[in-house]
Structure formats: structure tokens, C-alpha cells
Structure 1
Amino acid sequence: MHYPITERLALRPWQDQDAEVFHRLTSDAQITTWLLPLSRSESEALFARVRERLAHERWGVPALVKRDQPEQVLGFVGIQPAALEPVLPAGTLELLWRLLPEHWHQGYVTEMARALVAASFSAADAPHELVAFTVPANRASQAVMQRLGMQRDPTGDFIHPRVPADQPQLRQHLLYRLPRPV
């Protein structure tokens, strides 16, 4: 997929020197309040998989950067297969994001997510919808979903199959959907 750019932002493939930032995005307690944090080895393995997917597949999770500072990673915004069968059907595409705290509250996620959604829905093989999900307490992510025009689907809310039972605050997820415009 050709990555969209906005007035302030761009997406780019992850580079070797981004490994530490990626680890912070997947392990920092402030960033992963509503997620399962990853160990160093888990983060390194995920970093390798994310880079491999971006190199060989249409959908993936590239690094989010400022256009005038492409070496500085702010976080990520991407679209990838949700891979939560049978909770979500195979082929369901998830819009996801994560941002370093020093870049929160500047509209970066909403800005790039809008551009990415527009690009994905205008492609010849556009998906029929995108989904996003989060825990009920993550009001910030829900606000982004709503700003993007996503609608909550209470019938699709689910218990996340990969979250252990000893993490009850992270198990319940709210599902939001964004159908392709007609």
C-alpha cells in the first residue's frame, strides 16, 4: 500500500534504529495501560514480524513520523488483519495505533488515521469495513474512533481471547466499525 501523507505527518517502514522506540511503544507502562505489555524478547519478535509484514504484504503497521523529522518516530498507525478468529471473521481488518506520551493530545493519530482510512477505502480492492476495539476504560481511543466516524457495535463486544483471566480489566473489549462509504 502506498502510505498517505498529511500536512504534518507521514508513515514509513520501520528501520533498525527504531527498535528501541518500538520496544517502548510495546512495553512502557503509561503507553500500555490498556494493553498487555511485552517483554524485551516479545517486543523484538513482534518488531521483526511487523517489518516482515510491511515488506511483503499490503496491510501493516508502519512508523508514524513528522514529515519534517522522518527520523523521529512518534508511534504507529496502521491497518492489519485482526487475527481474532472466531471472535472476528477471518479477513477482518483492524485500524490500530499507539503513540509515545510526549506526542499525545496533538491530533496526530486522528489526522493520520483519517488519511489512512481514506487511502484504504479508495483502493481498487478496498475492504468493506474497518474495525477497531479497546477496553471500556480507554476513553481516549474510543474518542479517536468516534472522531473517525466509527460506530460502536455492542453486539460485537467480546472477551479478548489472548488476554489472561488474571487481567480482568483488559479482557472486555468494545468493538467499533467503520463501513466503506458507498
Structure 2
Amino acid sequence: MARQLVTNRLLLRSWRIEDAEAALDVYGSAEVTRWLSPIMETVPDLVAMRLLLRQWIAEDVRAIPPVGRWCIQRREDDRVIGGASLLPLPPGNQDLEVGWHVHPELWEQGYTGEAMFALVRWAFEHEVDELFAVVRPDNVQAAETVRDNGMEWAGETDKYFGQTVELYRLRPADLDRLAPRADLPPGYRAQ
């Protein structure tokens, strides 16, 4: 089961079925899911969202940390604003990907970077030696987010998902190098 992670503005916690309506606001948005294809299509309705959440919850129960899926909840008002994950990449499930998805009206407010940083810290606390972000070449915003959070471009590859993607990598030493920066999301702690 995914461990709860807390930052100054966010709570990353396990998904619950009662999150379905808020999750549909995120995963029912073509603006969000266009970047997730071919892995995930736009969720069409509340019934489909509940089924998907059940699947994610069941997978999370069996996952060995640091692997997991998290609901991103804003602490100030308890609003569910998105989701995040640390998942093995196919084929072979040897590489671990950090991913995030936030409601479009909340883009460019630093939530994705804050969630990403919390997951990265969580993974490195579990002796992961490198993390990857897989970004579609035309997803300028995601590429900017991963670069702003210290991930380095590792090149283009067609190894994952049957399409050419940009690959970004982060290692524990990179995180150590970033720690003194004043613009890192403050207040991370695992609970």
C-alpha cells in the first residue's frame, strides 16, 4: 500500500472509491489524458472511473514500496486535484517511472513539481538508484516540470509504450545537489 506523503500544500494518499467524482474531473479531461495515450484513454463516466479506482486500489495493495499510486489532495481545502505514481516501466519492469496528473485549471501552480519531489524522495529512501520520467516530445509543460525539478534529459527512446518519447533521469546524487536550492518544494515528510 502506498505510504502517505505530506508536503506544505499537498497530501499524497491512497485512492478511495469515494474519490471517483474528483478523479473523473482529472482523468475525464482530454487535456490530461492526451498525454497518457496509449496507456490510458479519457475516462468516459463515473462508473468507469470507479472501476479504474478499484483496479488501482487492488494493484496498490499488492505493490511493494516504493511502487504505488497516490491521490493528490490539496491540504488547504482537502480538494482532490490529481494523481501521482511510481510504477515499473514496460518491458521488463526494471526501470521505475515517476508520473503525475493534475486538473488543468491547476497547471503552472507548482503542484506537479511538489508532488514529484515528494515521490522522488520516497523512492530514494527505498534505495532506488534512479528514476525516470517518460515525456511525449510535444508535452512541453511536462518536460519543463521534470527539468525544473532536477531531472536530466537522457535522450529519446522507443523502448517504452511503442512510441518515441523523451526520457529524463534523476539519481540520488542529483537530489543531493538540488537540496540547497531555495525553490525546491519545502516541507516534505513521509507518514
- Range of TM-score over shorter length: 0.7 to 0.9
Q: Secondary structure at the match of 1:30?
A: helix
**Are 1:54 and 1:62, in contact at CA under 8 Å, matched by a contact in 2?**
no
Same amino acid, percent of matched pairs: 27
CA contact (8 A) 2:26 2:81 kept: no
Partners of 2:3 and 2:13 within 8 A in 1: no
Flag the structure with more relative contact order, 1 or 2, with Cα contacts below 8 A and sequence separation at least 6.
2
Question: Over residues 71-99 of structure 1, what are the superposed CA-to-partner deviations in whole Å (9 max), with x where a residue is unaligned?
Answer: x21001221112x11xxx42211100000
Q: Say what the alpha-carbon RMSD is for the aligned residues.
A: 2.2
How do residues 1-182 of structure 1 correspond to structure 2 at under 5 angstroms? 1-36=2-37, 37-40=41-44, 43-57=49-63, 58=65, 59-70=67-78, 72-82=79-89, 84-85=90-91, 89-123=92-126, 126-154=127-155, 157-158=157-158, 160-161=160-161, 171-181=163-173
Unaligned runs of 5+ in 1: 163-170
Scaled by the length of structure 1, the TM-score of the pair is 0.80
Q: Distance in 2 between matches of 1:67 and 1:44?
A: 23
Q: Could you tell me how far 1:45 is from its partner in structure 2? A: 4.2
Task: Indicate the SS of the match to 1:62.
Answer: strand
Q: Please tell me the residue identity of whatever aligns with 1:94.
A: E
Return the alpha-carbon distance in structure 2 between the equivalents of residues 98 and 119 of structure 1.
18
Alignment CA distance shift 1:160-1:56 (3 Å): closer
> In structure 2, the residue corresponding to 1:74 is in which secondary structure?
strand
- Does the CA contact (< 8 Å) of 1:77 and 1:98 recur in 2? yes
User: How many corresponding residue pairs?
Assistant: 166
Give unmatched runs, 5+ long, in structure 2.
Answer: 177-191
Cα distance in structure 2, aligned partners of 1:3 and 1:134: 26
> Could you tell me the TM-score, scaled by structure 2's length?
0.76
State how far apart, in whole Å, the 2-side matches of 1:15 and 1:45 are.
11
